[in-house]
Each structure stands twice: as C-alpha cells, then as structure tokens.
Amino acid sequence: MGGCFAGAASWHRGAGTEGGTDAKGRPDRRGTPGQAHHPAVRVAAVCYGGRVPRLRSALLWIAVCLVAACAGRGLWTDLGSVAEGTPTAGRLRRPATVPVRGDGLVVPPRWRARGLRYGSDELVGAIARAAAKVRAAHPGAVLGVADLSPTRGSARPFHRSHQGGRDADLLFYTLDARGRPAPPPDAMIRFGADGRPVAGAVQRRFDDARNWALVEALLTDPWVRVQWIFVARPLARRLLAYARRVGRPAWIVAYAAAVLHQPRGSPPHDDHFHVRIYCPRNDRLLGCEDRGPIWRYEKKRYKYPGAERYDPVAFRAALVAGRLR
C-alpha cells in the first residue's frame, strides 16, 4: 500500500498542468482534462494497476485504498463493543453497561458510586443471562454485581486487572441466620471452608445452591466463553462437592474444576467471584489479547472466526466425557 500512495503522490505533483507528463517527461495527452487527469482519478489509477477506470470505479478504489491504509489496531470496529489488549493492559470501546437493577441482579450503592459498570457486550450479556437463570431456578435470588471496568477501560486504583471489559466481580449469594435467601450485602463478606463468615458478627452463610447455579449458568452460556472464575480454593472445593452431591453432570463438574481457581499474587477471593471471559472472537481481530490457558473444551472452537453461537452443552460435554472415560 505504501507503493500505491507513493505513486499517487507523484501523479498528484504532475497535476498542476492540464495533461502532466508521461514516464519520459513528455506531455501526456491521453484522456480528457475533466476526468483522466483529475488528481483523485490518478490516485485510483495507481491503486488499480495503471489503468484509468470510469469515475465511479475510480472513487470506489480510492475508498478501498484509504481504508486499507488506515486499518490497524484500535481503528476497525464491528459496531459493537471492542475489548482491546489484555486484562492488565487494556482498553474498552463502545462498552455495554450493567443496569443498576435488572432481572435478578442489582448493583449495590458502594459499587454504583465507583461507576465501574462497563464491559464488553459479551460479558454484560452473560451476567444478565446468568442472573436471570438463577432467579428462575431459585425465585427471589438477586445477584450483587460489583466492579467491571471504567467507561474506556484502562487502569483504576481499585484493580490491577479489569482494564479491558472482560472482568467482573460478582458478590456471593448468601443466606441469613434462618437459612433464607438474603439480599446482596453492602460490603464483601469473607467466607471460610465451612461456609461461615471468617470474621465479624455478620449473620450470613455461603449459599451453596445459588452460587453453584451461577457458576453453571456462566459455564453453559452459548454466547460467551469463560476462562476463569477466581475464587478461594476452599470455596471452590465446597462448590464442586455440592455439585457432585446433587448429581450434576460429570462434564460440567470437571469443567468447573478447571475454571474455578484461586489466583496467585493477589487476595484469595474468599469474598466474591472474579469472572474473566476469553476475548470475543471478533475482538481478537481488533486488538484483544488472551493470556493464560486455552482450555481443552475451547481449543477447537477458538480457532474459528465468528460469533460465539454454538451449543456448549453438546460440544463441551462430548469433550469432557471423552476425557473422563
């Protein structure tokens, strides 16, 4: 493309006279002054391979040349959200917004005031669908949504990651002292392996049933691909034990065992889930970069372009079932 525009520049320099000159310096009398020697058409001629098409075709080739010359990271868009870079060095364009209140979810006042309610279309949609699914299975369930990303992504004091619209902090579902579903708390509550608060006089219990329902809803969503759900190791074990106890399919339990992970070099996440999704396929072409493992259940689909429109139950179940044999 550089040659295209270098050639176009030389044509343009000869456009001060009616005909300009040919390659040997002689007056160029081909065509008509009104069309063939117009500078814009000369740009098209160079891009098109030396021929001078009609004006409409010339203008089309000008547009193609300009678009190709300007293509690059951060300049293309698919008209939806764009997650760029990595979770720790990223940006977010055209973000989706988590509503303050929705079907089965709420952003508590503390996190509402921070204003970190922005994410990729895929992440925000996944949270909304998961919350609604848990509420449908457990009437009255309300998911507390904490931080996602700033409007344009990038770093903020509260988080080292959460920069590219692919990370979300979700509060645990809890039970009150009588074992009834409790509303989302105003502050994160740390829980131990026994499901009780680690410190303080908070009368809450970790809700195994609804927290597992949330994990399963996220992992079986056909429109998104979850890379990690960061959570403290004792709580991950508790959730997996619950899933086995109630007879959830072996493939989804195995998948959750890989994805539920206590992070290294940061707090153990014993007070919330930190969900991270893979780069949406379209965004990988626009500057999004995945870091870390590509799970066995995702590898084949990962290399294909297009939206995340596939049946995760049939696809992932077959892979995990094969591994469990």
Contacts 24+ apart (CB under 8 A), 303-309: 305/281, 306/281, 306/282, 307/223, 307/281, 307/282, 308/122, 308/222, 308/223, 308/224, 308/225, 308/280, 308/281, 309/222, 309/223
Pairing verdict, β 105-106 and 101-102:
antiparallel
How confident is the prediction along the chain (325 residues), in pLDDT tens digits per residue?
444 434 433 333 334 444 444 544 555 544 444 444 444 444 444 444 444 456 767 677 666 555 444 444 545 555 777 888 887 777 888 889 999 999 999 999 999 998 888 999 999 999 999 999 999 999 999 999 998 988 776 556 665 677 788 999 999 999 998 999 999 999 999 999 999 999 876 789 999 999 999 999 999 998 888 999 999 999 999 999 999 999 999 999 999 999 999 988 788 999 999 999 998 877 877 888 887 776 655 554 555 544 444 444 555 555 555 555 5
Decide: 222 and 308 in contact? Cβ < 8 Å. yes
Counted residue by residue, the chain has a size of 325
The fold of the 82-324 domain, in CATH, is Muramoyl-pentapeptide Carboxypeptidase; domain 2 (3.30.1380)
Decide: 15 and 42 in contact? Cβ < 8 Å. yes
The three-class DSSP label of residue 273 is strand
Residue-range domain boundaries for the chain: 2-70, 82-324
pTM over 0.75: no
**Which amino acid appears at position 82 of this protein?**
V
Q: Of 255, 230, 219, 227, which is closest to residue 130 (Cα–Cα)?
A: 219
